[in-house]
Amino acid sequence: MVRKVKRKKPRINIFVTFLLMVAIAVLAYKSIISLGNHPIFKKEYDDRTALVSSSKIEPGPSVSISPDKLNSSNAILVRLKDHTILMQKNSEEKIYPASLTKMMTAIVAIENLPDLKEEIKLTNSTFQGLYEANASMAGFQLGEQVQAIDLLYGAMLPSGAECSLGLANQIAGSERDFVKLMNQKAADIGMENTHFENATGLHNGNHYTTVKDMAVLLSYALQNDTFREIFTSSRHSTQPTNMHPDGLTFNSTLFEKLNHQNITGGKILGGKTGYTDEAGLCLASLAKVGNQEYILISVGAKGDHHSEQYNITDALAVYNSIEK
């Protein structure tokens, strides 16, 4: 009688395979602070976003500055053409966006306003709670009738909270309902770690995002010609209104704080500043270095409106560090 020989299970092979899987997982794990080219950003596709395949990305230029040297606690630098991440620091950490919020307010308003020359009346609800919260204001008054396009410039350049609420009330009937549109847009474009509670950026513990998500937002919004025109404007004069017969003139807070500083071999084209005690000094900016455009989102720099503007310092340092 012939006995059947039982084969031993290839335990050694299984163990080796397991070790290989662990090694691959460790290598793939993202560090909180990283430097390099990471083509994981978003491209618009059928009004949603899709990841860009790494095989389709050209090598990115090197960045000489270390993320550790930045004043900002969170930052991300992206080449706009193909959404390649060139540098990041705590890019997926929860942060408060302060007035960078108004970038979402603006793009949602632009996409929902059929006529940007439409006049909008600023009512009591437009100003409710803003003065008590020491919100930044553009200078419009209760009862003023303002063209929508001027409210957009007022929200983005001097960061006027009354402009954001005027747009929100006109489009959705209330800030609460407008915020629903903001959160829906965030979901549509792939902002996976974001939740908005208001249209102004005033601090709320449940109003949060990441710098990576804000870069997704800015990358998306800059595809809109109206948004790009506003974002890159240094100055804007409004049409006459019933309360300002000569109109109002707004100056971009970014260009005011740059104070004619710029980058070597390039130019900062535009941006949006932000600040709250909880968010620190923030900046979303667009720059051209050589023949390429880049966006930088930074938050969490120490200081305030009256101190040295470390968000601006970081932007100049990062853009100057891009290989020309």
Q: Which of 161, 166, 109, 152 is nearest to 132 (CA)?
A: 161
Q: Give the model's pLDDT for residue 8.
A: 45
Read out DSSP for 259-275?
Answer: TT---TTEEEEEEEEEE
pLDDT in tens, 151-183: 999 999 999 999 999 999 999 999 999 999 999
Tell me if 174 sits within 8 A of 167, measured CB to CB.
no
Asked whether the predicted pLDDT for residue 213 surpasses 50, the reply is: yes
Question: Token pair for residue 28?
Answer: 């793939």
Looking at residue 19, what is its pLDDT? 62
Residue 166, pLDDT score: 98
Map tokens 């990041």 to a residue.
88
Say if residues 105 and 62 touch (Cβ distance below 8 Å). no
User: 15 falls in which pLDDT band (50, 70, 90)?
Assistant: low
Nearest-Å Rg of the Cα atoms of the chain is 23
In tens, the pLDDT along 275-320 reads: 999 999 999 999 999 999 999 999 999 988 888 999 999 999 999 9
Residue positions counted in the chain = 324
Q: Rounded mean pLDDT of 180-191?
A: 98
Q: Which amino acid is at 93?
A: E
111 versus 38: the higher-pLDDT residue is: 111
39-320 belongs to which homologous superfamily?
DD-peptidase/beta-lactamase superfamily (3.40.710.10)
Tens digits of per-residue pLDDT, 219-248? 999 999 999 999 999 999 999 999 999 999
pLDDT at 1 over 50: no
d(C-alpha 157, C-alpha 75), whole Å: 22
Which has more pLDDT, 264 or 165?
165
Domain boundaries, given as residue ranges, for the chain: 39-320
For 95, the token pair is 């942060």
Tokens of 233: 């404007």
Q: Write down the pLDDT at residue 62.
A: 83
pLDDT tens, 24-72? 554 444 443 444 454 434 444 344 433 232 333 445 578 889 999 999 9
Per residue in 245-256, pLDDT (tens digit) is 999 999 999 999
Rounded to a whole number, what is the distance in angstroms from the first to the last CA of the chain? Answer: 81
Q: Give the integer Cα–Cα distance in Å for 151 and 167.
A: 7
Strand partners, 95: 209
pLDDT given at position 143: 97
